[in-house]
Homo-oligomer: A and B are copies of this chain.
Amino acid sequence: MSEEPAAHPAPTAPSAPLAVSAPPAESALSAPPAEPRGRRLSQDDRRRQLIGIGLQMLASRPIHALSIDAVAAEAGISRGLLFHYFPTKQHYYAAVVRAAARRLLNAAQAHPHVAPAEQVRSIVAAYVGFIDRHLEPYVAFFHRGAGADADLQEIFDNVRDTLTDRVLAASKLEANPASRMTVRAWWALVESLAVDQATHHATTSEALVRYAVDVLADLLARVDELRGE
């Protein structure tokens, strides 16, 4: 959880101060700017650059279709250097997915100073909006990306758990196993709805968010039924 492309591009590029050129500064799953192949970056900047390239190149293709060579070429560095920063291709991929996860979690934050119901609604709205705006990379990183090892699984679990915690906290519910299980499952439902919506636009985002929130209430109203009996 220590590496991630920051909002600013590498400091060695004096002409690219804070925002990207073409698209207006949008904190997305897609990508930071391309680096003029300057050399001798600091550890942090190099990591950021490489992870940024990963976010970019892996948004549209699965990990097995991306070679270390391609990343190195895009970054203007040698293959070897990539292994200096990431001991393994899997580690590199995990770092990229971790960055994507952080962006997602960053987008779906709670507003601490509003009523509980409104907090949940805003989290869901942000989450749904994020998927709507970044469908392809979202699917690439969080569905298709599952392919690998325990590291990845841990990242996904962490995202789900964090979102679940936020909803539980926002709705002032006690966090017992049954309610956690319920909210986690509800997030799976919301995700499915959001991906469907982003794909087919069968309804409005507002209707979908309201539906999701109401459904959560239904689910929690039945939570005793789930527990033992």
Q: How far is the CA of A146 from the CA of B178 in the complex (A)?
A: 28
Instruction: Select from chain B the residue with minimum beta-carbon distance to A223.
Output: B211
When distances are taken between beta carbons in the complex, the residues of chain B under 8 Å from A190 are 185
Mask, A87-107, CB within 8 Å of B = 1, is 000000000000000000000
- Nearest Cβ on chain B to A89's Cβ, whole angstroms: 9
Instruction: Select from chain B the residue with minimum beta-carbon distance to A89.
Output: B64
Q: Are B222 and A62 in contact (CB under 8 A)?
A: no
Q: Are B189 and A203 in contact (CB under 8 A)?
A: no
When distances are taken between beta carbons in the complex, the residues of chain B under 8 Å from A191 are 188
- Nearest Cβ on chain B to A111's Cβ, whole angstroms: 24
The number of chain A residues with a CB under 8 A from chain B is 45
Oligomer: number of copies: 2
A25 at the interface (CB under 8 A from B): no
Instruction: Select from chain B the residue with minimum beta-carbon distance to A187.
Output: B192
Q: How far is the CA of A54 from the CA of B125 in the complex (A)?
A: 42
Interface hit among A38-46, A69-77, A213-221 = A213-221
Q: Are A186 and B184 in contact (CB under 8 A)?
A: no
> Given A147-B147, A178-B202, are A207 and B188 neighbors across the interface (CB < 8 Å)?
no
Q: Are B188 and A211 in contact (CB under 8 A)?
A: no
Q: Are A149 and B62 in contact (CB under 8 A)?
A: yes
Q: How far is the CA of A144 from the CA of B142 in the complex (A)?
A: 11
- Nearest Cβ on chain B to A54's Cβ, whole angstroms: 15
> Given A145-B147, A186-B189, are A222 and B226 neighbors across the interface (CB < 8 Å)?
no
Q: Are A203 and B178 in contact (CB under 8 A)?
A: yes
Q: How far is the CA of A181 from the CA of B214 in the complex (A)?
A: 16
Query: Which of A143, A145, A192, A227 lies at the interface centre, i.e. has the most chain B CB atoms within 10 A of its CB?
Result: A192
A-B contact pairs, 26 of them (CB 8 A): A62-B147, A63-B147, A64-B148, A65-B149, A144-B147, A144-B148, A144-B153, A177-B202, A181-B193, A181-B200, A181-B202, A184-B192, A185-B189, A185-B193, A187-B192, A188-B188, A188-B191, A188-B192, A202-B227, A203-B226, A203-B227, A207-B226, A207-B229, A208-B226, A211-B222, A211-B226
Chain A residues in contact with chain B, CB under 8 A?
62-65, 143-149, 153, 177-178, 181, 184-193, 196-197, 200, 202-204, 207-208, 210-211, 214-215, 218-219, 222, 225-229
